[in-house]
Amino acid sequence: MRKKQSLASHRENTFIWYILALAIAAGIFFRLYNLDKKVFWLDETISASHISGTTYEWHSLLRTENPIEVKELLTFQIPNEKRGLKDTIQSLIELEPIHAPLYYCLLYFWAKYVGYSVLMLRLLSALIGLVQIAAIFWLCFELSGTHYLGMLAASLLSLSPILVVYAQETREYSLFAVAAIVLSACFLRAVRKQNLRGWIAYSLCLIFALYTSLLTILVMAGQLIYLLLEKGMKWKQFGKFFAAWAFAFVAYFPWLAVVWEHLELGANGIHWLLNPASLCDLLSIWNANFAGALFDPGHLSAPFQVLMGAVVLVELFAAVEMCRKSSRVAKFVLTLIATNSLPLMILDLAVGGRCSVPPRYQTAATIGIVVLVAYLFYIKLRGKTDAQQLAWRVAFSILLLTGLFSCAICSQATTWREKPLGGDFVAIARIVNEEPLPALLVTYEDERHTNSRQMLVISHLLTPTNKILLLKKPGIPRLDPGMTHFFAYDLPPNYRQYFEGSGRFIVTQIDKIPKLHRVDCK
C-alpha cells in the first residue's frame, strides 16, 4: 500500500503554496497575454484553411496573375457557411493526413461559434494549455502518492517556455501535451489498481491521445518499455494492457487507414525534415530543446547557449538523483523522455535530416523533463537542516525566474526561434500598410510554392484593401490607375533584370529587409 503524505507534513508548505500561486498566475497570464502579437505563421494558416473547409483554392486564386485584394484571400482562412465539419476533415486529409483530426474538429466548432480572429483562434490553445497545469498535478500524484511533487511540477510547467509558446499557437500541440499527461496518469493508475475499470479508462485515454497526435505512439513505446523494466515479462496484467491497446487501435483504425492511404501526400508535407543539418547545428538545437522545458529566450546566441547548457546539466543531475532515490519513478520518467526524443535524434544521425529539430515533436519529452526536475526539488527541499532547505528554495526560485524571464521575452516577440521569418513579415507589412493608397505586393511562383504560402502569412498582417500579385514568369504587373510604384518580395535576379531592362522601372532594395524591393515607375 502506498504511503500518502499530507500537505501538513512538510514544513515548507507555506513557501511552496506562495510559489505555486505566483507561478500559476504568471503561467495563466503569459498564456493569455499578447495572443495576437506573434505572426500567424505558415502552419497556423494551414489550420485556418482546415476550418474554412478549403485546400488549395486560395492558391488557384493567386495563380490567375491578377492582383488579389487581401480581404478576398482571407476568405479562405475563416469559416465558410457553405462548408461543414465534413469539409474540415476532408481538408485535413488532403493537406495534412499525418495530423490527427480531434483538435481541428474542436477548432472548427470554436471558430464557428466563438470567433475566428487570430486572437480567438489562439485562445482555444491557450485555454487548453491551462488544463496542463491541473493534469500534471494528477500525474505527479500517481507517481509519488503525494500532492507535494505535483505542486512543484505545476509551478515549473506553468512557466515552461516551450509549453507557453505552443499554448499560443493554432495547432494541436497544446492539446497533445494534455493528452500525453492524462494518458500517463491513467496508465500509472491502471498499473497500480490492476482492475478492469482502470484499463478501460486507460484505453479511452489512449483513443483520445491517438486522435490528437500520431506522436502518441512514442508515448506508448515508453510505457511498454517501463512495464518490461519494472514488472518483467511474466507480469499477469500484460493481457489487459495489450487488450487496452488493441481496443484503442481498433477505434483508431479509420484514421490510421486514412494516413496509410495518403502516406505519400503526408510525406510530401514534411519533406523539409529531410533537409540536412550539420552535427554542430544539431547539438546546438538539442541543447536548446532539452533546456527549453525550463529556459528558452527564443534564439540560439552563444551566451544563451551557455545558460541552456547549464540548465541541461541540472537536468542530468536530476536524473542521477532520481535514479538514486526511486528506481520505479526513474524508469517511468526517463523512458518517457527517452522514447520521445532519442528515436528522432538517432534518425537524424543515421540518415541525416532534422526530425529532432522542432521541439513540438518532443512535447511529451518536455513534460518528462518538467517532472524530472520537479522530483529533484521534491527530494532536496526536504533537507535535514534549515540551511539545506534554504539553499534549495533559492535554487528553485532561480529556476522559476529563468522560466519567467523566458516567457517575458517571448510575450513581447513577434516570432520565435522556429519561425525566423516572422520579424521580416511584420516589417514588410508595416511598410506596405503605410502607403496612402492601396499598395501592391508582388512575388513570384517558386517550385515549392514557398512564396505563395508566405503571401498567405503576410496577408494576415496587411490592410484588407492592399493587393497581392503572384507572377509565374517575368512580366509587367498590372497597376491600378495612379499607382506609381509597387513592392516586390523575394525578387529573383532574372526578375529584377527584366524590370530594369524594360526601361520602365527603377528597382531599389529596402533597407534592413533584404527580401523586399521597391519598384518605381519611370
Give DSSP secondary structure letters for 473-513.
Answer: SS-PPP--TT--EEEEES--HHHHHHHHHTTSEEEEEPTT-
pLDDT of amino acid 476: 76
User: Smallest Cα–Cα separation from 223: which of 208, 243, 207, 245?
Assistant: 245
Cell numbers linked to 379: 527530494
Q: Which residues contact 226 (CB under 8 A, 6 or more apart)?
A: 331, 332, 335, 336
pLDDT of amino acid 4: 45
pLDDT by residue (tens digit) across 474-488?
Answer: 777 877 787 888 898
CB-based burial, 126-141: b 16+ in 10 Å, e otherwise: bebbbbbbebbbbbbb
Residue segments in the chain with a per-residue pLDDT below the cut of 70? 1-13, 15-16, 383, 420-422
pLDDT of amino acid 13: 62
User: Smallest Cα–Cα separation from 419: which of 168, 217, 238?
Assistant: 168
User: CA-to-CA distance for 311 and 305, rounded, in angstroms?
Assistant: 10
Alpha-carbon torsion angle 295, 129, 334, 18, nearest 10: 70
The answer to whether 111 and 125 are in contact (CB under 8 A) is no
pLDDT of amino acid 420: 62
Q: What is the percentage of the chain residues whose pLDDT exceeds 90? A: 60
207-210 long-range contacts, CB within 8 A, separation 24+: 207/248, 207/251, 207/252, 208/102, 208/179, 208/182, 208/183, 209/176, 209/179, 209/180, 209/182, 209/183, 210/100, 210/248, 210/249, 210/252, 210/255
The answer to whether 422 and 42 are in contact (CB under 8 A) is no
DSSP 231: T
pLDDT of amino acid 389: 82
pLDDT of amino acid 141: 94
pLDDT of amino acid 45: 92
The answer to whether 287 and 305 are in contact (CB under 8 A) is yes
| Side-chain half-sphere CA neighbours of 384 within 13 A | 0
Cell numbers linked to 304: 544563451
Q: Which residues contact 160 (CB under 8 A, 6 or more apart)?
A: 292, 293, 294, 366, 370, 403
The answer to whether 96 and 259 are in contact (CB under 8 A) is no
pLDDT of amino acid 8: 41
| SS3 state of residue 48 | helix
Instruction: Give the pairing type, strands 440-444 and 485-489.
Output: parallel
C-alpha gyration radius of the chain = 25
